[in-house]
Structures are given as C-alpha cells and as structure tokens.
C-alpha cells in the first residue's frame, strides 16, 4: 500500500483539533461521546484522515464499552497492529495502514466469528452510507 505522509502542520490544517489529538497524538475520546458509538446504519467506516475504507457496518456490534466496536476490518491490509505499553497496560494499538493515523485498540474479547473487539474512536472515522 502507498503510504500517505504529511507534516504535522499539514495534518493540523486538515483535521479538527479533536481529530488531530486522537489520530496524530494517539489520544482517546471520552466514552459515549463519539458520533458513531451507537449507529447501526448500513455502510462503511473510513479513516477520517485519509479516507481509506476500514470497517464495514456488518461487523459493527454493540459492545457496551462506549466506543464504536467492530469484530473485523474490511480487509486486514487496511489496518496495522502495534504493541502499546503506555499507561501501565499492554494493549494492541490499531492504526490506518495508509496514513498511520491512530484508530484505537483491539482486544481478544469480541463476538464470533473472530473473537476480536476493535474498539475505535469515532473521531478517527468517517461514515459512508450504503
Ligand atoms: Fe488513514
């Protein structure tokens, strides 16, 4: 995949302050505050920074955790996983494969068929209705 590389200044210009804090500084939105936490409309969720298709609505489920949750990305090539040892925890960070934007984390407590829960910030996503 061709990577998108932009300077901090360019990202600051193209993202809202909240998107910049989360996507570029690995922040987290407060639970239950994101615009996509409870949506169930058919469509696809894209990276808010670069528009890469990330998660189909078919894999979205109600996890009760306060962030949009998916059990599978559209394709595994579109997301990357990294070990995250910040905040005294060992977690798996999920980023956009194309722009490197921080999306959230993936946990091994999701539903079938994958058993995974991709816990993703709404601010890192943009929705395209089917
Ligand atoms: Fe991206």
Domain of residue 86, CATH code: 2.170.150.20
The DSSP call for residue 83 is E
Q: How many structural domains is the chain composed of?
A: 1
Q: How many CA atoms lie within 13 A of 12 on its CB side?
A: 3
Rounded to the nearest angstrom, the distance between the alpha carbon of 50 and the centre of ligand 1 is 4
Which one is catalytic: 47, 50, 96, 119?
119
Q: Which pLDDT value is given to residue 9?
A: 97
97 occurs within a structural domain: yes
Neighbouring C-beta atoms of residue 17, cutoff 10 Å: 8
CA distance 44 to 77: 16
Does the pLDDT value for residue 125 go beyond 90?
yes
Confidence of residue 1 (pLDDT cuts 50, 70, 90): confident
Rounded to the nearest angstrom, the distance between the alpha carbon of 7 and the centre of ligand 1 is 14
1 occurs within a structural domain: no
Does the pLDDT value for residue 93 go beyond 90?
yes
58 occurs within a structural domain: yes
> Cβ neighbours of residue 105 under 8 Å, at least 6 residues apart?
84, 91, 92, 93, 94, 118, 119
46 occurs within a structural domain: yes
50 is catalytic: no
Note the pTM of the prediction, 2 decimals.
0.97
Rounded to the nearest angstrom, the distance between the alpha carbon of 8 and the centre of ligand 1 is 14
3 occurs within a structural domain: no
Rounded to the nearest angstrom, the distance between the alpha carbon of 43 and the centre of ligand 1 is 18
């Amino acid at each position: 995949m061709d990577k998108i590389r932009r300077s901090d200044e360019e990202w600051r210009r193209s993202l809202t302050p909240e998107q910049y804090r989360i996507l570029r500084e690995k922040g987290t939105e407060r639970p239950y505050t994101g615009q996509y936490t409870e949506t169930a409309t058919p469509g696809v969720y894209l990276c808010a920074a670069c528009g890469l298709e990330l998660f189909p609505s078919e894999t979205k489920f109600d996890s009760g955790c306060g962030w949009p949750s998916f059990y599978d990305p559209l394709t595994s090539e579109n997301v990357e996983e990294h070990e995250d040892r910040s905040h005294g925890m060992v977690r798996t960070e999920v980023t956009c494969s194309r722009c490197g934007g921080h999306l959230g984390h993936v946990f091994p407590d999701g539903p079938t068929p994958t058993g995974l829960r991709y816990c993703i910030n709404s601010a890192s996503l943009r929705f395209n209705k089917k």
